[in-house]
Structure 1
Amino acid sequence: MNGEYCSVDEAAIPITDVGFIHADAAYDVVSASRGYIFRLQDHLQRFERSCHSFRLRNPYSAAQTSAILVRLAQLAGTREAYIWWCVTRGAMPEGRERGNPEAYQNCFYAFAIPYLFIADDAMRSRGLDLMVSRQYIRIPGRAVDPAAKNFHWMDMKLALFEARDRGGDFAVLCDADGYLTEAPGANIFLVEAGTIVTPDDGCLEGITRRTTLELAAELGLPARVEPVAAERLRSADEAFITSTAGGIMPVRSVDGVPLGAGGPGTETVRLHNLYWDKRWRGWLGTPVEFRC
């Protein structure tokens, strides 16, 4: 917290920080597997773009931020880690200065905990039951830039609650025109006749999303990034979601209708297995040195 290290249960932020009051912050997440932080530099670059989009200033350089995140993993002592960090706007100045981004002292917070999945073991093994939200749409990009990782999650959280109310595991949101955007904390992919497809707009430019497209090329799978109407997801051969918190996770049904054979699809499994095989071997990883 702003240069101080402590245990997670002792961590706190000032209640007047507008990161808390107004969701005024940018954040990012990396994961470590077998002691290697995956694509750390890519995440740091995305984080800087997010800060720029929201007119925030990271108090630390990219190199300093990298060192902090590695140190957190060392202190947590876990080789399988979920490492989160953010820059908040800080406390609000008085009067007209509240509209001046230079008048705020931006703050830095970060933590490392054991790695977590947004889908549990059973859900990942059988495939997720996904629901396309009927009640909510993704916040439009002209309101909050979805490519900048942010705290504006109420649309996604309410869609997730809606999915659970309807008997599903997870949700995906569309934009106002009925095109798929993203799931809560995850990008969406579908497979049509051996080609993987993912939305081109209204979603975070996920690092796991990028990785999936690279792995598809390695496997010789055609891939397209384009507008995707929700109806295409319901009729797809396969589908999966991607996230730092879980990697590549299969979908078995959409709105109660099974996809394919009703379990993890063949291409999804191939991508999933290659992803973890390469990660476990330290692919694109920054090593964390642990004391024995």
Structure 2
Amino acid sequence: MDLVQDADWSKGAAYIDGQVMPVAEAKIPITDWGYRRSDVTYDVVGVYYGSFFRLDEHIARFRRSMQELRMEPKESDAELRQILIDLVRRTGLREAYVAMDCLRGRPPRGVPFHPAFAKPYIAAFAIPWVWLFTEEQQARGVHAIIAKTPRIAPESVDPTVKNFHWGDLTKALFEAEEAGAETAFLLDQAGFLTEGPGYNCFAVIDGTVVSPPRGALLGQTRDSVYELCQELGIPHDIRPISKAELEDADEIFMSTTAGGIMPVSRLGTRILGNDRPGPISATLRETFWKKREQGWHATPVNYDKAPA
């Protein structure tokens, strides 16, 4: 692995196709299809309390995404795991947002102008932790709307493969801003809940925690929610959620790597409960972070070991 010497790693570290550099110096070619065509898949794993959360599961999901897009970079899963750990160790960050991308390059001259002839390569970085919503927003509950913009159909872009096709999600975020809200939930063409910009969605209906079966990423934090429900004896289910059910839900919350479990206190003009997180959402959020601190699904970073 090539390394930029005498570098400042305080703001983050990056790896691109075999070379490590400060994140501010990381660049990809403007002609690569990862940029020109959004021909890329990615995953994000969090570091908190000095430990990765569900690191191997994130890498396994990333590998499945690459395989679905017919990308085979040179790095093995074990090598990628070490790269991510080394990036965090190099920065010294105890709380870090760690991304791994696989981008397709551009076919060289002399071969067909087809993705099969373009080299895929890994780009990764570790930067200080990112909250999707501030701690204050989470404490009082996030304000959301149901977007008019429908989610891209899974038959066109598979949402279980993390991707950069954010046109619908970005449009929904502007809808939310114009409505004085902070985020948006997207429905499919049939009017059922899918996901939001960067997170899975949950509704608490008659005491049961429910999440959609299709149209959304199979989130690692989503899996953690159902593990917690099982542990705490909270009924849970995966089934379609109509717009009417979402609007009438007892509680609503979201889950993502960049924030964990995040309650919602307003949906459009409706104020849920007492304009604060509901009891099930609050319990799940509190338990999630308590277990994280205790080492749940943790891969500790040995900061004393010199990076490779």
Task: Give yes or no for TM over 0.5.
Answer: yes
Q: Please, which runs of 5 or more residues in structure 2 have no aligned partner?
A: 1-15
Residue 33 of structure 1: aligned partner: 48
Alignment of 1:95-174 (within 5 A): 97-101=112-116, 103-134=117-148, 136-174=149-187
- The one of 165, 187, 200 equivalent to 2:213 is 200
Once the 2 structures are TM-superposed, how far is the Cα of residue 99 of structure 1 from its aligned partner?
Answer: 2.6
Once the 2 structures are TM-superposed, how far is the Cα of residue 253 of structure 1 from its aligned partner?
Answer: 1.1
Alignment of 1:1-292 (within 5 A): 1-94=16-109, 97-101=112-116, 103-134=117-148, 136-291=149-304
Residue 3 of structure 2: aligned partner: none
Q: Deviations over 1:80-121 (max 9, x none)?
A: 1110010111123457722351x1111110100111111012
* TM-score, normalised by the number of residues in structure 1: 0.97
- Opposite residue 88 of structure 1, the aligned amino acid is L
Give distance in 2, aligned partners of 1:247 and 1:164: 23
The 3 A distance-change label for structure 1 pair 97 and 79 is same
Q: Deviations over 1:31-75 (max 9, x none)?
A: 011111000111011101111111111321100000000001101
What's the % identity of the aligned pairs?
40
User: 3-state SS of the aligned residue for 1:167?
Assistant: coil
Residue 7 of structure 2: aligned partner: none
The 3 A distance-change label for structure 1 pair 100 and 170 is closer
User: 3-state SS of the aligned residue for 1:31?
Assistant: strand
Q: Bigger CA drift: 252-261 or 65-74?
A: 252-261
RMSD: 1.2
Q: Bigger CA drift: 53-62 or 89-98?
A: 89-98
How many residues end up aligned between the 2 structures?
290
* TM-score, normalised by the number of residues in structure 2: 0.92
User: 3-state SS of the aligned residue for 1:200?
Assistant: coil
Give distance in 1, aligned partners of 2:276 and 2:252: 10
Contact 2:107-2:115 within 8 A present in 1 as well: no
